[in-house]
Amino acid sequence: MNCPHCGAPAPDNARFCQECGGALQIVCPQCGQTAAPGVRFCGNCGTRLGAQDGAKADTKAGLMGAFPSPPPPPAASPAPSAPAPNYPAPTQYGMAAPPPPPAAPAPAPAWQAPPPPPAAPSAWQPAPPPPANAPSWQVPAGFEAAHTGYEFIGVMPRFFAALIDGAIVGLVGAVIMALAMSGGGMYDEGTLYAVYTIVMLLSLAYTLLLEAGGGTLGKRILGMRIVSADDGGAPGFKRSLVRNLMRIVDGLPVMYLVGILSIASSDKKQRVGDRVAGTYVVKK
């Protein structure tokens, strides 16, 4: 048969035209039997078909031709599969058990006492005793820490020792003066100054050299000696020089007052010169 809308040929069992999409057959709403366009009653059940059924069919066919169905969406790609868990290999009776955790170190037994801490070094060590053949005046090493066994000399013994030293130096000066005056009985001011200078230099050399070795003749006669505070030995020339230079301070303001007060206030009987030089005056 031909399409009643566009005249295009169409198969007998076709319901819509392949060219224009128009309806070729009308479906009976009562029994579902198809009929040709323009037929007003169903040939099977006699139901009135009417032109509106054909128009509805034409309209539906036209809409379907004008708006074709959208193509189906593309199939979604399968999601990437997660990596298979690394399970342990199966055993004869099922899955293998995970390995046991490492064993913790065993605690020390309760009866075991911790090792004692190392002993701290002692801050004070006793001074070694003096050797058997050492002289009685020699102070052992570490004299500063072990001075309690020695007797320090105070003001009065030093004063008498200074008188003896002054008498010795004065006697030597008198001899020099007598020799200077014996030359024809000349007596002038220049000779006196020269003799005084010589006597002062001799007195200074006498004090420095003898105290560097341990004490002047006056101190040795009265049984005392000057020692170093470091090792108890002879002070040496450097300490003797510092000790005698500080006599200027010890002699202030008059009559050796600063030196006397310094000795009286010191438990080791040190004057200012002894404190600065690091010396002691001890009994032999």
State residue 109's pLDDT score. Answer: 61
Cα 272–Cα 216–Cα 244 angle in degrees, nearest 5: 30
Average pLDDT per consecutive 10 residues, the chain (284 residues; last block may be shorter):
70 72 70 71 72 46 50 64 58 60 68 69 55 51 53 94 94 87 67 86 94 95 93 92 94 92 94 95 91
Domain co-membership, 190 together with 279: yes
State residue 57's pLDDT score. Answer: 44
In the chain, how many domains are there? Answer: 2
| Full domain range(s) for residue 26 | 1-67
67, 83, 99: which is the final residue of a domain?
Answer: 67
Domain annotation covers residue 199:
yes
Residue that is written with structure tokens 């004869």 in the block? 92
Domain co-membership, 156 together with 266: yes
Domain annotation covers residue 107:
no
Domain annotation covers residue 91:
no
Domain co-membership, 151 together with 268: yes
Domain co-membership, 279 together with 179: yes
What is the Cα gyration radius of the chain?
Answer: 68
Domain annotation covers residue 152:
yes
Coil, helix or strand for 103? coil
pTM value is 0.48
Domain annotation covers residue 251:
yes
Q: Is 146 exposed, middle or buried (0-12, 13-18, 19+ CB in 10 A)?
A: middle
33, 48, 67: which is the final residue of a domain?
Answer: 67
